[in-house]
Structures are given as structure tokens and as C-alpha cells.
Structure 1
């Protein structure tokens, strides 16, 4: 492509939502932390190399379907997730990364290098950990 020689109208997207193809034989429930593994959306889980996409807007049921047969819409933002009691995020972690345990739970550490980063800890309260999710 060459440099502009005249003004142009540029499309813009707020970047709050995105869509991703869902892995075969996978159900992602609405409200679940959703990750990309190998370019396919899956529910959050313990594992390395996962990319957190955000929170699922609605349930996507691809059970019996092939890779990418359906897509899911996810939202980036700050959400309250459950805190793993045996590796709990504390106030000392505010502003630091926390790590994904499952599709609704985070932990303080990477669990011996078994967990992917979930996002940044924004706050804590009695109900859980507020985490900024999504890239």
C-alpha cells in the first residue's frame, strides 16, 4: 500500500467486543471467561499459552459441531471473578497479574508454571477479585 495522497474515512470499532470461532465439541456458558487456544475459543481453564479474550456474552453450544462451526462474542473489561482459596489473590496483588484456574476463578500464582495469565488485578472485595480481562 502507498501513503495517502488525500484524506480518507477510517472505520472505527470501540474494541470492547470481539468474535472468535468456537472449538469443536465445546460449550462456553454465558458469563464464562473465554480463552483462545490454537485460534479457537474455549472456556477458561488451567493451561499454558492461553489468551484470555474476555467474558462470553451468551452461551455458545458447539457440542457436536466442527471447529469454527459457530462463533462467540466476548467482552473485554473489568469483571469480578472467584478467588482460589488455596492460592488467594490479596491486596498486595492489586496492579499485578493474576492467573486463570477455570472459567470463573483466578489465583495469585502461575501454579508452578501451569496457569496462563488471566489479566490485571484491579480490586478485591468479599465476593471476589476484580480483574481486567482481554487484550
Structure 2
């Protein structure tokens, strides 16, 4: 039903979120974190069913737990410095364009013939790695 008066709508910041962790995984602090096809947090990897979430703020070991047995804090809405792929390197021409997830610390220029999920938007590239928003 549509509103007929003002509503005090709750909100969250959205920069730091707690996400239930997938079964059988360990997420390291500072790593690239994704949501699996079922919505659980996992370390970044080469797969086509992942959604980029951000950077892990803590280490969480759910290697012996079921889906959701643990949660991980994930920082979002920032630019993070990830490693550049040695075989499919992000370059200056990629600034403003999406890059793709290789693993929990590495991004690539392409989707690898439809084998990689999108990560985020490239903001900068240098010898130290790739800045991804």
C-alpha cells in the first residue's frame, strides 16, 4: 500500500557491512570479497557467478562451518589497491572501465573468455597494482 503520511524510513551507512560467509571457506583480511550465487561471502576467484562486494576487514575461517555459520565485515564504496594480472594486465586504457576477478587479490583486464566475474571500475593503474572502486 502506498504511503498516506510521512514515514521515518530506517537506513544504514552501507560502507561497512556484515555478510554471512559461505561454507568451507577462509577469507583473509584485506582480500577481495565476493557474494556467491547463493549470496554468501567468499574470497574472490575465477568464476562467472560472483558479485563483487569489497574488501574484507578481518580474517574469518569458516572452513569447518555451514553457510552463514560465521560473518565477515566487508568495506565497500572505496577504491582498493589489488594486484594486476601478469597474463591479462589492466592498463591505462582501462581507467573508467570494469576489470575482472582472478582471485582474492588479483584483477584482470578481460573476462577471460567468459570465465571471470566483473569486479569494479578501474580508477588507476601503476607499478603497485590496480585501484578498483
Q: TM-score by structure 1 length?
A: 0.91
SS of 1:86's partner is coil
Q: CA deviation at 1:52?
A: 0.8
- 1:33-112 matches, within 5 Å, as 33-37=32-36, 38-76=38-76, 77-112=78-113
SS of 1:92's partner is helix
Deviating runs (4+, > 6 A) in structure 1? none
Give the structure 2 partner of residue 31 of structure 1.
30
Number of residue equivalences: 131
Q: CA deviation at 1:66?
A: 1.2
Q: Deviations over 1:9-55 (max 9, x none)?
A: 22221221222211112110011111111211110001111001111
